[in-house]
Amino acid sequence: MTHYDLLVIGFGKAGKTLAGKLSAAGKKVALVEENSAMYGGTCINIGCIPTKTLIVAAEKNWDFAQAMSQKETVVTRLRNKNEAVLKGAGVDLYNARARFVANKTVELTAGEDKEQLTADIIVINTGAKSNVLPIPGLLDTAGVYDSTGIQQLSERPERLGIIGGGNIGLEFASLYSKLGSQVTVFDAAPTILGRDEEVVAKLAKSYLEEDGVSFKLGVSISGVKNSGATVLVTADGEDYAFDAVLYATGRKPATEDLGLENTDIELTERGAIKVDDYCETTVKDIYAVGDVNGGLQFTYTSLDDFRIVFGKLTGNGDYKRSDRGQVPTTVFIEPALSRVGLTEKEAIAAGYEVIANELPVANMPRAHVNNDLRGIYKVVVDKKTKLILGATLFGAGSQEIINHITMAIDNKIPYTYIKNQLFTHPTMAENLNDVFNF
């Protein structure tokens, strides 16, 4: 039985960074990943990087084959880089299935081979997996894919059905419509982006429709089945025919088959691994980081989990989960939709005396230079303190600009500073002068 200072289960952002840092510092470190195609984690292989690479390819008007080829090139390069970095740092990399047999003992299975590892510190970094709704035929029908499978197609589907109008579903709807597919999105909710500013949600739907996406909202799907090579989706008693169907109905922490029942590690009511303010589980010296601990499912929050655990393990535990500031988000539809903090409705409900302002992208000089006038900026401010409560930026490049507002909120910078700030011209960022000009 081999013993390590640190054993990481899963090749996600937080775990791989911990493994590399501590191994480089002289610790004996092992990382276990069941699937060699997932070296580097979700983001690099099936999440942010491949999907955004495809989006950029679609914006360049590349055909489906070119886009998929570029995606594979980028993913393979980064996957190989991640493997090389860890091995170069001295990490022992195991390609095997990991399962707890006791609190600090993990059994590895690779084909017929089994071995056990122990460690002073164990970090669980197994990520999340697609949530499957109990729709008859969903998993038994040919031509039905989750967000991973839909990225492996060899031919572009002429007709693509998407079950789920959340962020993942909308990004794939935007992407595949740009690639030339006829896309239909099904969702039980009466609107898309129901938690966002109403004006933004309406604009986003209209833009997606302009790009060829159809919506079937407020519907109930009773079944999915094949009719020859066609996939039929039955919604409210009517059949819709597609060449492929994507189900994008959320993701849940990947805790199954980890053998947690053989440990004292507890789960939350939602099936995530329960952790404290330092990502430590209910077993001392076992940590859970990234999507598996039930936090926000973003690569950058996983990286923040790394900072927390690394600080704790190296004697500098002055930063913890409760210290985490605002978390900005972006939905990569066309144009990008970015948000941080509260919407106007949320701010009012929280008891703030609110000032809100909107600025159409069509009023922005740089947007005319870019020949892309779609979108709107909306900001929400506390009238009494002049502090920024939230912002929704719907426009080209918003994924970059939202980070400036995040820093302003976290550092309690009043909106008046941004109102009077000097920005370079012509840029999209300079329009923060005007949207904050109350």
Residue written as token pair 């590892």: 117
DSSP 91: P
Distance between CA atoms of 320 and 413, rounded to whole angstroms? Answer: 23
Backbone angles phi, psi at 158, to 5 degrees: -65, -40
CB 73 within 8 A of CB 7: no
Task: Give the largest CA-CA distance in the chain.
Answer: 68
As given in the structure block, the two tokens for residue 99 are: 């399962």
CB 396 within 8 A of CB 367: yes
- Of 40, 35, 38, whose CA–CA distance to 17 is shortest? 40
Any catalytic annotation for residue 425? yes
Helix (H, G, I), strand (E, B) or coil at 25: coil
Determine whether 373 is exposed, middle or buried from the number of CB atoms within 10 Å of its CB (0-12, 13-18, 19+). middle
- Catalytic one of 3, 368, 404, 425: 425
Strands 286-288 and 144-145, by their bridges, are: unpaired
Q: In terms of residues, how long is the chain? A: 438
Distance between CA atoms of 238 and 77, rounded to whole angstroms? Answer: 45
Q: Tell me the H-state helices in 314-364.
A: 344-349
- Of 144, 150, 185, whose CA–CA distance to 165 is shortest? 185
Distance between CA atoms of 261 and 282, rounded to whole angstroms? Answer: 13
DSSP 45: H
As given in the structure block, the two tokens for residue 164 are: 């789920």
CB 162 within 8 A of CB 192: no
> Where in the sequence numbering do the catalytic residues fall?
425
